[in-house]
Amino acid sequence: MTTVILAEKPSQARSYIEAFKNSTKKQGYYAVSDPVLPNETFITYGFGHLVELATPEQYDTKYKQWALSNLPIFPEKYKFTVPTDKKAQFKIVKDLLSKADTIIVATDSDREGENIAWSIMTQAKINLKSKEIKRLWINFLEKEAILKGFKELKNGWDYYPAYQEAQTRQISDWLVGMNGSPLYTLLLKEAGLHGVYSIGRVQTPTLYMVYQRDLAIQNFNPEPYFELKAEILAEQQKFVAKLDPYQRFKDEKSLLAFMSEKRLEKGSQSGLIKDVKKQTKKTSSPRLFSLSSLQSEINKRYHASASDTLQAVQNLYEAKLLTYPRTDSNYITEQEFNYLVENLNGYLGFLSKDVSLNHHEPNKRYVNGKKVQEHHAIIMTKSVPTQEKLSKFPALEQRIYNLVLRTTLAMFADPYEFEETVILTSIGDAVFKATGNVPKNQGWKVLFSDYKTEKQEEETTLPLVEVGQSINANLAPDQKMTTPPVPFTEGTLITAMKTAGKTLDDEEAQAILKDNEGIGTEATRANVLDVLKKRGYLLTEKNKLHVSQQGITLCKAVELEPLLTSPEMTAKWEKALKQISAKERTQENFLEQIKKFVSKIIHDVPTQMKQSDSLTSQVASQKDTEQQAELDAQIGICPICKTGKIVDKGKFYGCTNYKATDPCTFSLPKKWSEKALGKTAIKDLITKGETTKLKGFKSKKTGKKFDAKLTIKEGKLSFDFG
């Protein structure tokens, strides 16, 4: 009886092998043995996705050239292919699976892991009903967890609906992208714009959220307003109070009218302490981290991108220091809570201050098995590294481990406790309120006291006063200006994706679970942002995200079809996709809805775009921008063909006639003999045929540096030592 374990990638397979007693490396797989495994067991692996959806031209060669007449593209049956560079490994996996009596799916324990494994098994065209299929489902890559997982394998067929959900998401994204991208690209080309305009089921509403925020900032008109504050002097001690209930006034006239009505005067006047309330309050520690809340916090603290954070957490997971990263839960079960309690002393070794961790009973704010569905929150594993070992990790990984460690330990600490004092002061017929806090027990905050990265507001301490005490108050109108919305960062955009654009504070956002679907998934949101940045639609400046000129054009085009830009609609799609894995909806039902949507935009968008004055204006603006950029990039007339222009082509300088009927292949490098060539040198070569003497060339033979002129002779670059 042969058993084959299918891992997602080589590094995952190695983690399993390290847990087993014996292993022998083969070409593309391992032979393994261990008491928890049956006899004759092998581990093989993919390279992530070994199987991909076929591109349109693989259905019909007519799709090689984009044409509106070819839309919509709705295959009767979806084809899957193995990329050329992965065919050798696929054959190894296929041969092993064919011979197997039992297949253990050991890819990542999530929907995408199911998609990877079942896609491989399906593409291998083996009779899966004749095989026993088991599922390894773990949150840790530690030896103990791996061995326990192999002892408690689950029925693989129970996870088949999760594969159907993931595959449906994959196909629906293909349908929207493969139809939407040609549609908008060709229509914008008709309007005179070049380039490819990419459409995505998730990426388009995400881009549009940033566009709307940019627009709100751009169109914001600051307006003045007035507040009335009182500087109160009581027994030679000063404090500041504001109107209660708080009010702001649109102009000084309305403020003065209010003051007259309430018998208030500018400047000094007397008043009385009306009330003093003291109340002890407690604040719980932050919730445990889901992937999105961790990405948001790390971006806020260190300006790391969402994808960099995901990769760093993945590395810590594979290093067996953190639990599974792609989780949307902020909760753990009692099982994880118990092992954390057992290892508290080891974790405390990382802290430079003594912290009391006395709460060893589960708190439902953090420990709630009913709210853990696929994976629990990101926490430390039982493997506690030494400080020396952790110091060898990259800086971002060290920071993430430390933050997860402190946030997890905080649930064992006392709440932060403070005494809140509220002083109400009567002045004229108005009441002014001042609030101050006095820390009583730092509690969990001690864990973060030597770990601050941002300025934190100091606590306001109020003087001791008594009810009925006379005071002197100085009233001063305070003119302020309204402030614009804040630009998105990757962290706040990840949160907005999770909440489908709803405005929530950090605490509320962290509490969102599966019953409040956002757009994208924990596993895909970082990749969506990467795609938008790589395609040049999103620009990052000092950790703030803005939409590029090309992105604005795309947003103005897609906003004519609101379903493409609606986070709420995309969130509903995500919810419908989840219903597939819950067996409440079929793949066919969902894809039919997507096809109706695609047909609608193909029918409606051409007319909408022609009738849009806003889009016409934006297209004209982008044309001007592109023409100016082209002029700025031009260095001079091509010395060979005499008609083309030499421009910066990225890795080299080349002629604009390269793709002409009679192509000109003249080009100049950006680096020659280890010396970078700037635009001044290139311009001299084109206009004068030679440069001045340049320093810093390096001989390939001797490695010595030398000075020389550069010249162009018969279209070729050469040295002139004269």
Tens of pLDDT along 15-71?
Answer: 999 999 999 999 999 999 999 999 999 999 999 899 999 999 999 999 999 999 999
Q: What are the two backbone dihedrals, phi and then psi, of residue 516, each rounded to the nearest 5 degrees?
A: -125, 80
Cα 112 from Cα 288, distance rounded (Å)? 24
Q: Give every CB contact of residue 223 below 8 A, 6+ residues apart in sequence.
A: 250, 481, 482
- The least confident of 406-415, 533-542, 653-662 is 653-662
Task: Give me the numbers of helices (H) and strands (E) for the chain, helices first please.
Answer: 22, 26
Tens of pLDDT along 30-44?
Answer: 999 999 999 999 999
User: What is residue 589's predicted lDDT score, i.e. its pLDDT?
Assistant: 95
Tens of pLDDT along 239-278?
Answer: 999 999 999 999 999 999 999 999 999 999 999 999 999 9
> 633 falls in which pLDDT band (50, 70, 90)?
low
Instruction: Label residue 590 left, alpha or beta by phi (over 0 means left) and psi (-120 to 50 means alpha).
Output: alpha
**DSSP, res 113:** H
List the structure tokens of 210: 């940033």
Cα 72 from Cα 555, distance rounded (Å)? 22
Site of tokens 């305070």: 478
pLDDT over 50 (residue 618): yes
pTM (two decimals): 0.83
Tens of pLDDT along 382-399?
Answer: 999 988 999 999 999 999
Residues linked to residue 280 through DSSP beta bridges, in sequence order: 419
Cα 478 from Cα 553, distance rounded (Å)? 42
**Mean pLDDT over all residues of the chain?**
91
Site of tokens 């079960």: 333
User: What is residue 503's predicted lDDT score, i.e. its pLDDT?
Assistant: 57
pLDDT over 50 (residue 454): no
Helix or strand (DSSP H, E) at 30: strand 29-33
Kindly report the three-state secondary structure assignment for every residue of 604-671: HHHHHHHCCHHHHHHHHHHHHHHHHHHHHHEEEECCCCCCCEEEECCCEEEEHHHHCCCCCCCEEECE
Q: Smallest Cα–Cα separation from 136: which of 100, 162, 112, 110?
A: 110
Q: Give every CB contact of residue 715 below 8 A, 6+ residues apart in sequence.
A: 639, 640, 666
User: What is residue 354's predicted lDDT score, i.e. its pLDDT?
Assistant: 80
How do strand 41-45 and strand 3-7 relate by DSSP bridges? Answer: parallel
Is the Cβ–Cβ distance between 667 and 657 less than 8 Å?
no
Contacts 24+ apart (CB under 8 A), 84-87: 86/46, 86/47, 86/50
Is the Cβ–Cβ distance between 98 and 128 less than 8 Å?
no
pLDDT over 70 (residue 507): no
Average pLDDT over residues 292-298: 95
User: What is residue 506's predicted lDDT score, i.e. its pLDDT?
Assistant: 47
User: What is residue 457's predicted lDDT score, i.e. its pLDDT?
Assistant: 53
Tens of pLDDT along 94-120?
Answer: 999 999 999 999 999 988 999 999 999
User: What is residue 714's predicted lDDT score, i.e. its pLDDT?
Assistant: 79
Tens of pLDDT along 179-203?
Answer: 999 999 999 999 988 889 999 999 9
Average pLDDT over residues 709-719: 87
Give, in order, the Cα–Cα distances in Å from 154 to each of 42, 134, 150, 157. 19, 6, 9, 9
How do strand 224-234 and strand 671-672 relate by DSSP bridges? Answer: unpaired
Residues linked to residue 211 through DSSP beta bridges, in sequence order: none
> 570 falls in which pLDDT band (50, 70, 90)?
confident
The amino acid at 610:
K
User: What is residue 682's predicted lDDT score, i.e. its pLDDT?
Assistant: 87
List the structure tokens of 498: 């999770």
Helix or strand (DSSP H, E) at 208: helix 203-218
List the structure tokens of 82: 């193995």
Cis peptide before 10 (omega within 30 of 0): no
> 3 falls in which pLDDT band (50, 70, 90)?
very high
Tens of pLDDT along 86-96?
Answer: 999 999 999 99
> 683 falls in which pLDDT band (50, 70, 90)?
confident
How do strand 102-106 and strand 3-7 relate by DSSP bridges? Answer: parallel
Cα 206 from Cα 495, distance rounded (Å)? 11
List the structure tokens of 713: 């002779």
Sign of CA dihedral 348, 352, 354, 357: negative
Cα 581 from Cα 14, distance rounded (Å)? 30
CA 702 to chain centre: 48
475 by DSSP, 3-state: which? Answer: strand
Tens of pLDDT along 475-486?
Answer: 999 999 999 999
Burial of 658: CB neighbours in 10 Å, binned 0-12, 13-18, 19+: middle
User: What is residue 195's predicted lDDT score, i.e. its pLDDT?
Assistant: 86
CA 597 to chain centre: 27
User: What is residue 100's predicted lDDT score, i.e. its pLDDT?
Assistant: 97
Cα 59 from Cα 4, distance rounded (Å)? 33
pLDDT over 90 (residue 513): no
Q: In terms of pLDDT, which residue wins out, 3 or 111?
A: 3
> 519 falls in which pLDDT band (50, 70, 90)?
confident
